[in-house]
Amino acid sequence: MLIQLLLSLLVIVSLKVTSVQACDFKCTYKKHISAIEKKDLASFESTITPGEKLTFILPDGTFFEDSATYRKLLKGWFAEGGWSFTPEVLRVEETSEMGTVLLKVLYHEDDRNGKPYDLEHYLYLVFKKQGDSWFLIHDQNTKVKSVEGDSSKPS
C-alpha cells in the first residue's frame, strides 16, 4: 500500500515537472532585460551561461571573456542602486541554436563622481541554446555616436 502511494506521488510529481516548459529564447531575453530594469539579480543570474566563457565589452572598449568576472561586476552594479536602465528593442534574430537582441539603451546614474551621468548606448546580447534552456554568452555595449545626415541609424 505504501509503495503504491509513493509510486502514485512519483507519477504526479513527474507529470508536473514535465508539464513545466523551459523558457524559450524570447522568454529568456525578456527575463534578462526585465531583471536589469527591476535590479533582480536572481532572475538575471538565471539567464547567464553556466559555462566559463562569456564575452563582455563595455562602452569604453574594456573587454572580459570570463563568466565569473561578468557575474562579479554585474553583482556589484546591481547592488549600487541609483541608476536606471531604459531599453528599446531594435532587432531580434533567432535560429534553432542562437538568438540575438539589439537594444538602444538610455542609462542614467543619479551620482557618478559627484554629478549625474547619462549614456545612450547600443546593447547587443547573444544567447545560446544549451540543452532545453537559453543562456547569455555575449554582452556588448557600444556608445551611440550621432552622425549628422545619417538616415540609416535607428531612432
| Structural domains of the chain in order of their starting residue, each with its CATH number | 22-143 (3.10.450.50)
| Nearest-angstrom CA–CA distance, 6 and 105 | 52
pLDDT exceeds 60 at position 149: no
For 54-96, the pLDDT digits (tens) are 999 999 999 999 999 999 999 999 998 899 999 999 999 999 9
Report yes or no: 68 and 53 within 8 Å, Cβ to Cβ. Answer: no
pLDDT exceeds 70 at position 13: no
